[in-house]
Amino acid sequence: MIGRTYIAVFALGALAIPAYAGEVVTLRNGFAMPCNHHAQVADKVRLYTGAGDESFIEFPAVDIADVEQVPDPPPPPQEAVEEPAPPKPAADIKLSPADLHELLAKAGSSHNVDVDLLASLVKAESGGNARAVSRTGARGLMQLMPKTATELGVGDSFRPDQNVSGGTAYLDELLTTYHDNLALALAAYNAGPAAVDKYHGIPPYAETRAYVARVIHEFNRRVRAREAQARQALAAATAVPAVHSSL
């Protein structure tokens, strides 16, 4: 299901943002690309995603508007908030891949969000573990913080149906807020809308930048696989069977 167009999906998906972004390269179209370092090779500029030279993406030199050195800042200090202990699930819910896909498809259809995008987010957030709890207290498949879950009307974040419904509604809200700019919506999902608004873009947090790249990379992979399957199905459906004649 592709119901909406996401901005800068494939441009960002081509570049896995490094854990440490030493530079931010701004293209003439206004899009900012974090990288570890860069080098000019002939008439191209290579943006390297790590300290080595094995992984990079190239742009024509004329497309580069600016290169800025960006030190990796420490995460902003957070006030100590005593969260209540996460409730224990009443039962060990067994969720098969087919069950999860059905939940994601239903939620995606309700909010016009691509099911493969939801699956990519769930993979990055919890790896499909309905009982996952992060070190910050986020819970369930889509790792909802208790306050966010309450605001979304989620009574039990460990219930897959409630968690997926609430997480999808939240992502839909963020996509609407940031005019379907997927990178910004994902950054807000990870670091909070306040951080995105403060920095007028993806916050310069290594964790957030890596998260955005990871989700978009997985989303692109799933979309390419889906398109390949569709092409194969179309080719099989339109194939002309061989005609055999006997004398």
**What percent of the chain stands above pLDDT 90?**
55
In the chain, where the domains are located = 9-71+205-233, 97-177
Q: Is the pLDDT of residue 75 over 90?
A: no
Min mean pLDDT across 74-83, 113-122, 157-166, 187-196 is at 74-83
Mean pLDDT value across residues 125-135: 94
22: pLDDT strictly greater than 50:
yes
**% pLDDT > 70, the chain:** 79
**Res 46 pLDDT > 70:** yes
Is 125 considered catalytic here?
Answer: yes
Instruction: Give the residue from 79, 6, 24 showing the smallest Cα distance to 202.
Output: 24
- Phi and psi at residue 213, to the nearest 5°: -65, -40
Residue 11 has pLDDT above 50, yes or no: no
The full DSSP string for 108-174 is: HHHHT--HHHHHHHHHHHTTT-TT-B-TT--BTTTTB-HHHHHHTT-S-TTSHHHHHHHHHHHHHHH
How confident is the model over 165-193, as pLDDT tens digits?
999 999 999 999 999 999 999 999 999 99
Neighbours of 63 (CB within 10 A): 14
Taking the model in full, what pTM does it have?
0.64
* Rounded CA separation 86/68 (Å): 42
- What pLDDT is stored for residue 190 in this prediction? 96
Choose among 209, 151, 163: nearest CA to 184: 209
The CATH class, in words, for 97-177 is mainly alpha
- Model pLDDT, residue 210: 94
Helix 115-125 × helix 206-238 angle, to 10° = 140
Catalytic residue among 54, 79, 125, 227: 125
